[in-house]
Chain A
Amino acid sequence: MTTGSRWGGTAALVLVAVWALNGVGLQDLGGLDARGAAALRGVLSPDLDPQVLREVATAAVETLQIAVAGLLLSVLAAAPLALLLAGNSRAPRLVRSGARLFAALLRGVPELVYALVFVAVVGLGPLAGTLAVAVHGAGLLAKLWSEQLESVDERPVEAARLSGAGRAPVLLLAVLPLARPGLFSLLLYQLECNVRTATVLGVVGAGGLGQAIDLSLRLFDYGKLGTLIATVLLLVLGVDALSRRIRAAVGADTRTVAP
């Protein structure tokens, strides 16, 4: 490469950078107006008033409840779906295709869209968030679980079949015991995701911390906003730490599972 073309390349990169940063208004950061400065100050100095803390704690508990209730409901649908989807359960082909399509439809719509719909159907509050988390989670868990079931060592499964066991005993005596650590690990991973999602969903009125964040923004209550954001962080980190401990305790897969 010649020196000229190298300089030309660098100049082009700089131009692209300036174009992008200027386009999003980064230069405005230098001169924050009064409200912007107040917001930043508020967020950085959380309001620790007991009344505020009580309200925030209530919202945090609600977020946790949305995440857990959503997980329980999604498991009810995901467990049978995953069994039908997994090739080694030997479900009839038509049933399998139907289950695959159904699971894809469930997880194909983002949680936020589900939340908007459920807020319209059941009204503002945690129930809408729970249903949104549950429906999307069911489709996702069904897919992840079925892949986990399919990836087990095939030899003990074949041994069970050769002993004359039917479909259900093969699942219970070979496939599920082999897949159990992975299934459990995915369940915890889904719980972690649900906590994050439940927070975001509140912003469209589906309960929990998100709804409180939305409210404090509308009321320009930036101190409380700071408390809420710190709580989100604590909650997410807390659930991650808890699930790591549970994994270690039950000997489940500790590797990170990509969704």
Chain B
Amino acid sequence: MTSLHVRGLVVRHRDSVAVDDVNVTLGSGEQLVVLGSSGAGKTTLLHALLGAGPRVQGDVRVGALDPYDPTQRRQVRRSTGIVLQGGDLVTRMRARTAAVSGCSHLFGGSGWWALTRGRTPPALKDRLTELADQQGVTHLLSRRVGELSGGERQRVGLLRALLGSPGLLLADEPTAGLDPALGAAAVDALLAHSQSAGNPTLVVTTHDPAVAARFDRVLALRAGRVVHDGPALSADQIGELYARKVH
């Protein structure tokens, strides 16, 4: 639903350039996978879409909003759903609470009160029930996150990201730590959701060429620079992408 524009973006972590002059435009409802080896700048790029990370220069627009503008950042983040590596949920929490924890701006006073008693905030109840059913995680909601397997956590993480009906859906290495079957299921869920209700724009990062092959558009990063933007890569291009730098 939300279009993305990144122009001449440079992000620097201490001494090293993590994202170097990246340009990418994504139409509303499009699906993009960002492929690259560890340290290629994938996560940094994803965070920059939400105005996180030290930007040196360049422009980022999410819809009409600038995530690096402090007055607009919160609005960008609230209309975006993000699935982080391993879910990044509080392990002591019940999955039900963890799932709503990304939508605190929708709680209201009654929602916070409901949370103290381990209940779902009324404003999110119907949406949570519907989504949990759709994702097949209803039976997990009353358990603690720490008791869930990696695949189950990933599904609760996706539930959390989807709960606010985001126009933009981001996923950072959604298959990390999962076996191939579970990883494929996680990617299926992301793709299916971005094509269904609301049709959110989808950006997924991965280091796995097999995951990238599921997408029509691949943005390949190497040392922070875009080396490919288009349909799936050939075997030679993939080999080049992962080759160790030789000086």
Interface of A with B (CB < 8 Å)? 155-156, 158-166, 169, 172-174, 177-178, 180-181
Contact = CB atoms under 8 A, between A and B. Distances in A.
B88 A159 contact: yes
Given A155-B84, A159-B82, A159-B84, A165 B105 contact: yes
A164 B77 CA distance: 5
A172 B74 CA distance: 18
B104 A174 contact: no
Contacts of A177: 90, 92-93
Q: For chain A, what secondary structure do more than half of its interface residues adopt (helix, strand, loop), or is it mixed?
A: helix
B104 A158 contact: no
A161 B52 contact: yes
A148 to B, nearest CB: 14
6 pairs of A and B residues whose beta carbons are closest in the complex:
A164-B77, A164-B78, A163-B102, A169-B104, A159-B88, A155-B88
B104 A173 contact: yes
A34 to B, nearest CB: 63
B128 interface: no
B104 A162 contact: no
Given A161-B52, A164-B74, A173-B104, 20 more contacts: A155-B84, A155-B88, A156-B89, A156-B90, A159-B89, A159-B102, A160-B104, A162-B47, A163-B78, A164-B78, A165-B102, A165-B105, A166-B105, A169-B104, A169-B105, A172-B104, A173-B90, A174-B90, A177-B90, A178-B90
Contact of B74 (A155, A166, A174, A181): A166
Nearest to B47: A162
A162 B52 contact: yes
B89 to A, nearest CB: 6
B131 interface: no
B72 to A, nearest CB: 11
17 contacts: A155-B84, A155-B88, A156-B88, A156-B89, A158-B88, A159-B82, A159-B89, A161-B77, A162-B77, A163-B160, A164-B75, A164-B105, A165-B105, A166-B104, A169-B105, A174-B90, A178-B90
A176 B112 CA distance: 14
Interface in B99-145: 101-105, 112
Interface string B65-78: 00000000111111
Contact of A180 (B82, B84, B92): B92
Task: Report which residue of A163, A174, A178 has the largest number of chain B beta carbons within 10 angstroms of its beta carbon.
Answer: A163
Interface of B: 47, 50, 52, 73-78, 80, 82, 84, 86, 88-90, 92-93, 101-105, 112, 160
Given A156-B89, A174-B90, A177-B93, A163 B52 contact: no
Contact of B101 (A155, A163, A180, A181): A163
A160 B78 CA distance: 11
Nearest to A163: B102
A180 B84 CA distance: 23
A161 B52 CA distance: 9
Nearest to A178: B90
Contacts of B103: 163
Contact of A160 (B47, B50, B101): B101
Task: Report which residue of A155, A156, A164, A169 has the largest number of chain B beta carbons within 10 angstroms of its beta carbon.
Answer: A164
Contacts of A169: 104-105
B87 to A, nearest CB: 8
A162 B52 CA distance: 8
Nearest to A152: B90
Contacts of B50: 162
Contacts of A155: 84, 86, 88
Given A156-B89, A177-B92, A177-B93, A162 B82 contact: yes
Task: Report which residue of B77, B103, B104 has the largest number of chain A beta carbons within 10 angstroms of its beta carbon.
Answer: B104
A156 B98 CA distance: 10
A165 B104 contact: yes
Nearest to A160: B101
A156 B101 CA distance: 10
Nearest to B105: A164
Contacts of A164: 73-78, 80, 105
A162 B112 CA distance: 20
B224 to A, nearest CB: 21
A174 B145 CA distance: 13
A164 B167 CA distance: 14
Task: Report which residue of A161, A162, A173, A174 has the largest number of chain B beta carbons within 10 angstroms of its beta carbon.
Answer: A162
Contacts of A181: 92
